[in-house]
Amino acid sequence: MQDFQKPSADELKKKLTPMQFEVTQHADTEPAFRNDFWNNHKPGLYVDIVSGKPLFSSLDKFDSGCGWPSFSKPLMDKEVVERSDVSHGMMRTEVRSQTADSHLGHVFNDGPAPTGLRYCINSASLRFVPVEEMEKAGYGAYLAPFVKAGLYKPQPKAETAESKK
């Protein structure tokens, strides 16, 4: 993921569903309450559908009642960037992924403590990696908070012939 090169629009159209493409590339919005993750309560990571970069943790997800996945903060501030959005006659703050420049959604200041923020994110811009699959999928570095929360028990490493010496 270090050397990520954003695929061309044609490649992305082949990789993504039409909704994922429109949301991430054209700042569209998927329907509220009719998307993959608004009601997902499983522990895990939410990563950029285009780049695979980790964006949000289920540990920061909450039910805001808006019909889209809502998070109180991004996993890493540097990967979620904010831009002014004055489309549709409103003044909002758009959030995009730094690496792939994917449109994610918007951030509002009506979230829970301690941040007071609500990152209202389109499911179509995300891929969910369940906690039990994180290590295998290359996201093992993000497991510690899930272990601390008692949501994941590290698996013992298989003993190798080298480690028996």
Which positions are annotated as active-site residues?
120
| Burial 84-121, CB ≥16 within 10 A → b, else e | eeeeeeeebebbbbbbbebbbbbbbeebeeeeebbbbb
- Please give the Cα distance from 64 to 68 (Å, whole number): 8
Q: How far apart are the first and last CA of the chain?
A: 35
Three-state SS at 47: strand
